[in-house]
Structure 1
Amino acid sequence: MPVTTAAAAYMISAMKSLQVLFPKMLHVTCFAHGLHRLVEFIRSEFHEGNLLISKVKAAFVKSTARRQLFKQSNPDIPLPLEPIVTRWGTWLQACDYYADKFDAIKSVVDYLNGADSECNQDGKKSVSSVQYSTRFGIYKS
């Protein structure tokens, strides 16, 4: 009888314990959970790209004026994506977006007045320290 669970350490341990009582039990970790763990690993390996995404997200989420400035400067480009860590794959989608639209994002963030908020300062610092190299969140500082 197959049992599907998350790939969490406590689930693996619990299934090993249960296999003593049910020797024919087959433990299968959920493929979606495995993919999520892979994305989390990728996100942890690309710290600069993750920092860029989070700082620019914070700058645009907190200000309607900044969102309007982005729309005026780039009418054909949607606003920067707002990845949610608990929603699987949104971070990779954001990486793809930032890789494709990096120059547009950088021009708007560079235009913002860094003295008016900590978000602007963090966004400018993050954009200026990261150089775009390839797609899917691979950035080099």
Structure 2
Amino acid sequence: MRKFLFENVTNGGAIPGFHQLQEKYLGNVYLKEKEALRKRLAKKPIAVIFDETPDVEGRCVLNILIAPLEKDESGRILAYLADTVFLEQCNHSTVSVSVVKCLQEYDIANEDVIVFDTDNAAYMKKAYTAALQSLFPNSLHVTCMAHIMNLIGDAFRRPFDQLNAFMLSFSQMFYHAGSRKRRYLQFMSGKHPTRQKATMAPNPCATRWNSWFKAVQYHSEHFKLYKEFIEMEIKVSGSSAPQSVERLHEMLQNEDMAQCLQVQLSIMADKCKHILQLLDIFQSRKPITTKVFDYFEDLQMNFTANKELQYESCAEHFEGLDVHHATKTHILNLVHLAYSNAEEKLTREC
């Protein structure tokens, strides 16, 4: 590029390199923008949003955003990234010190801080109660409703060890396996020729809070096709079949286990709709603060009603399957435990 500019552009050789832009100009631009933001925030009521996340190197990264609590020209309240702090240790002490230091750098008066908004992690709540609450007397601590719902969802799905093992193996089967993904999509397209396009199963991921429930709904819809596909993969892979494919083959060849998985997927795909709906609501951009109490009250009643689930209430999920009585009892006990765990977590967090 530099050779091209030098040969074809007048004074092309005088264009500085990227390192010169970084070393000479970027710092000045940053300070100028920081000063402009300081003036924009001066003497205004503000909300402080902060959250921690790991980076690709496994370090703790704390992002601190500040939002003036007044609408801009477009009628929106905007949050600005004020600082990104790399923490050697992430706890309530390091978090509160970083937040206070950031606010001091922007000359924000303590009485102007109205809201602290964090997730529902214990160390975040302690950062407020142990330090920030006393320093900022006008402040209110608001926790993320979506994070609370994610914690409830974690408690809800925890008892299903067999189901979680199946879903994990299914995801692992496609790691670094482009040819297997192509075969799977071709297989699913052949089974559903009228559909627009075959898709991969959602990958349950800790950072996408509704992904486990989406995956359950996907697997419940396609489960009857998996045995045939896995048998094809065993033939294609031969002795080099990965452990994930072998585990799935073993599960699906065991008729009792396969039926147990099918029923669990069917029940969970149906029963998780309420949790999935609230997760979507709480992660949307629509203000729902005035409805939060009603949402959680409805959720509490839903958990209470389903905690003592009887076979008659979910008989449709067993239709067409010759499931042993002991297996039915085991599945209903898992559902009972899931709702009990979720109800306990809801009571504790709210």
Please confirm whether the aligned pair reaches a TM-score higher than 0.5, indicating the same fold.
yes
The reply on whether 1:85 has 2:217 as its aligned counterpart is no
CA offset at residue 43 of structure 1? 3.4
Q: 1:9 aligns to what?
A: 122
Structure 1: distance between partners of 2:137 and 2:158: 37
Question: Which entry has the higher C-alpha Rg, 1 or 2?
Answer: 2
Distance 1:120 1:45, change over 3 A: same
Where does structure 1 lack aligned partners over 5 or more consecutive residues?
Answer: none
CA contact (8 A) 1:15 1:27 kept: yes
Structure 2: distance between partners of 1:74 and 1:96: 16
CA-to-aligned-CA distance 1:77-109 (integer Å, 9 cap, x gap): 423232322222112111110111111123212
Q: 1:136 aligns to what?
A: 268
The alignment's C-alpha RMSD in Å is: 2.6
CA offset at residue 23 of structure 1? 4.9
Tell me the amino acid that sits aligned with residue 11 of structure 1. Answer: M
Percent of aligned pairs sharing the same letter: 24
Structure 2: distance between partners of 1:79 and 1:13: 41
Q: Which moved more, 1:99-108 or 1:69-78?
A: 69-78
Q: Which moved more, 1:37-46 or 1:50-59?
A: 37-46
1:119 to 239, 244, 261: 244
The reply on whether 1:102 has 2:223 as its aligned counterpart is yes
Structure 2: distance between partners of 1:73 and 1:3: 50
Structure 2: distance between partners of 1:39 and 1:59: 25
CA contact (8 A) 1:36 1:88 kept: yes
Q: Count how many residue pairs are aligned between Structure 1 and Structure 2.
A: 140
Tell me the amino acid that sits aligned with residue 106 of structure 1. Answer: K
Where does structure 2 lack aligned partners over 5 or more consecutive residues?
Answer: 1-113, 193-197, 272-330, 335-350
Q: Give me the TM-score of the superposition, normalised by structure 2.
A: 0.36
Q: Which moved more, 1:52-61 or 1:107-116?
A: 107-116
Q: Secondary structure at the match of 1:112?
A: helix
Q: Secondary structure at the match of 1:122?
A: helix
Q: Which has the higher contact order (CA 8 A, sep 6+)?
A: 1
Structure 2: distance between partners of 1:106 and 1:79: 16
Tell me the amino acid that sits aligned with residue 111 of structure 1. Answer: M
CA offset at residue 37 of structure 1? 1.8
Distance 1:22 1:71, change over 3 A: closer
Q: Secondary structure at the match of 1:3?
A: strand
Tell me the amino acid that sits aligned with residue 42 of structure 1. Answer: F
CA offset at residue 65 of structure 1? 3.5
Summarize the alignment of residues 43-54 of structure 1 with structure 2, pairs less than 5 Å apart.
43-54=157-168
Tell me the amino acid that sits aligned with residue 124 of structure 1. Answer: H
Structure 1: distance between partners of 2:231 and 2:146: 38
Q: Give me the TM-score of the superposition, normalised by structure 1.
A: 0.79
Tell me the amino acid that sits aligned with residue 240 of structure 2. Answer: D
Structure 1: distance between partners of 2:121 and 2:180: 40
CA offset at residue 126 of structure 1? 4.0
